[in-house]
Amino acid sequence: MEHEHSILYGPVNALWHSVQHRFAWDIPEHVIMALLVLVISAIIFPIFASRIDRDHPGPFQHTLEATVAALKDLLRDIIGHEGDRYIYIIGAFTVFIFIANIFGLFFFLQPPTSNTNTTFALSISAFLYYNYEGIRRQGLGHYLKHFMGPVWWLAPLMFPIELIGNFARILSLGVRLFGNIFGEHTATGIFVGLVPFVVPWPMMGLGIFGAFLQTFVFIMLTMVYISGAIAAEEH
Amino acid sequence: MNKRIILITAATLLFAASAFAQAPSAGAAGVKWGVISAAFVLGIAAAAGAIGQGWAISSACEGIARNPTAAGAIRLAMIIGLALIESLVIYSLVIAFIIQAK
């Protein structure tokens, strides 16, 4: 928590430097941690999926079924009847961001989302995805037309403002996730440096709550942006 | 009550004018403007964020009290609203981190 590097930074970089001598730089912390998130989710979920039991579901199965049902309900609420096809991308964001945020609670790991590189990668991916969906559904011309606003004579004013607002979504999604996780991680680290025993617990509780909340807000906003991008055909 | 608040705020701000006594140091061993402005930025952002979120929560509580069956939807809207307001405070926190090193 107050450590600067996770437990994997030393070994992975020792391996990296022993295997190749062309690049002198170290693999950065957040890359190692993000790959660890990927490895963990690539191990847990396929093993779990092969053990789904319809008659005697265990607790993990109940939890995941409840999560998937809640995500599908949210998708249907926000996007409408088209919502179910986006469960895969939204589920991917949820799993990655949640596990990444939870890394902040372990003293031997660092959350990859406490680094702007990871959070901007996530927000740029979400941005490209919803624009791609909008362009694919409506065609480029029609998609750009809905930036122009309701009446044609407002278009020179509305178009730059809408365009800037659209690109500002990258910044807002990325900085929100980064600021929350980095701030809570740093504050917990300071508390641990001051009084290592009982005092960090409220901050860590806030960290758990923040991990859930930031995941929820990220996927909620992505869903809202997707619904905004594909919506005009529903008029 | 209102007048008293205005009077006390004005008196506090007037005390800040004594900072001008340190101004002509050209920054080398002088006033650390980065640290001072970071503190101000965060204080103002936290105050404004708290007022906005307090208003949001009070409206949500009132809505739930009037219509308990809509509690789920109201709670959802409240959580989203709180997260969005909080994100503005977080932007100020990030700026404060950046400028406090200068």
Q: Which residues of A touch B93 (CB under 8 A)?
A: 179, 183
pLDDT at A227 over 60: yes
DSSP A102-118: HGGGSTT---GGGSHHH
Query: Is A137 within 8 Å of chain B by CB?
Result: no
Q: How far is CA A199 from CA A104, A187, B73, in A?
A: 17, 12, 35
- CA dist B42 and B45 (Å) reads 5
Position A51 confidence tier, pLDDT thresholds 50, 70, 90: confident
Distance linking the first and last C-alpha atoms of chain A: 51
Residue B49 parent element (H or E): helix B33-66
- CA dist A206 and A188 (Å) reads 9
Position A3 confidence tier, pLDDT thresholds 50, 70, 90: low
pLDDT at A32: 93
Provide the percentage of residues in chain B whose pLDDT is more than 70: 79
Span A169-179, pLDDT tens digits: 999 999 999 99
Q: Which of B79, B80, B90 sits opposite A179 (nearest CB)?
A: B90
**Residue B63: domain span:** 49-102
Subunit contact A179:B91, Cβ cutoff 8 A: yes
Say how many C-beta atoms besides its own lie within 10 A of residue A153's C-beta.
Answer: 8
Taking a contact as any Cβ pair under 8 Å apart, which residues of chain A between 11 and 30 contact chain B? none
CB B77 within 8 A of CB B34: no
Query: Is A218 within 8 Å of chain B by CB?
Result: no
Instruction: Name, in order, each residue with C-beta under 8 angstroms of A107's C-beta and a sequence gap of 6 or more.
Output: A1, A3
Q: Which of A183, A217, A220 sits opposite B93 (nearest CB)?
A: A183
Does some domain include residue B11?
Answer: no
Span A109-144, pLDDT tens digits: 999 999 999 999 999 999 999 999 999 988 888 888
What residue in A sits closest to B86 (Cα-Cα)?
Answer: A176
Nearest 5 degrees, angle CA B66-CA B72-CA B74? 55
pLDDT at B76 over 90: no
Does some domain include residue B96?
Answer: yes
Query: Is A172 within 8 Å of chain B by CB?
Result: yes
Between A36-40, A157-161, B9-13, B86-90, the lowest mean confidence (pLDDT) is in B9-13
Position A54 confidence tier, pLDDT thresholds 50, 70, 90: confident
Query: Is A63 within 8 Å of chain B by CB?
Result: no
Position A155 confidence tier, pLDDT thresholds 50, 70, 90: confident
Q: Which of A172, A216, A220 sits opposite B87 (nearest CB)?
A: A172
Using the structure block, give the residue that is written with the tokens 């559904």: A137
pLDDT at B9 over 80: no
Q: How far is A225 from chain B (nearest CA, A)?
A: 14
Does some domain include residue B90?
Answer: yes
Instruction: Estimate the share of chain A in helix, then strand, then coil, as percent rounded to the nearest 5.
Output: 80, 0, 20
The mean per-residue pLDDT over the stretch A1-9 comes to 74
pTM for this entry: 0.82
CATH number at residue B60: 1.20.20.10
pLDDT at A235: 42
pLDDT at A68: 93
Does some domain include residue B75?
Answer: yes
pLDDT at B43: 95
Q: Which residues of B touch A220 (CB under 8 A)?
A: 80
pLDDT at B14: 65
Query: ipTM > 0.90?
Result: no
Q: How far is A205 from chain B (nearest CA, A)?
A: 17
- Chain length of chain A: 235
pLDDT at A233 over 70: no
Instruction: Estimate the share of chain B in helix, then strand, then coil, as percent rounded to the nearest 5.
Output: 85, 0, 15
DSSP A191-206: HHHH--SSTHHHHHHH
Residue A132's closest CA among A224, A231, A223, A229? A229
Span A179-207, pLDDT tens digits: 999 988 988 888 888 888 888 888 889 88
Q: How far is CA B76 from CA A1, A208, B63, B64, in A?
A: 32, 19, 12, 12
Instruction: Name, in order, each residue with C-beta under 8 angstroms of B29's C-beta and a sequence gap of 6 or more.
Output: none
Maximum distance among all Cα pairs of chain B, rounded to whole angstroms: 64
Say how many C-beta atoms besides its own lie within 10 A of residue A89's C-beta.
Answer: 18
Find the radius of gyration of the CA atoms of chain A.
Answer: 21
Does some domain include residue B97?
Answer: yes
- Chain length of chain B: 102
Does some domain include residue B60?
Answer: yes
Span A63-115, pLDDT tens digits: 999 999 999 999 998 888 888 899 999 999 999 999 999 998 888 899 999 99
* Number of domains composing chain B: 1
Does some domain include residue B102?
Answer: yes
Span B21-44, pLDDT tens digits: 554 444 456 888 889 999 999 999
Enter the DSSP assignment of B19.
G
Between A30-44, A219-233, B20-34, the lowest mean confidence (pLDDT) is in B20-34
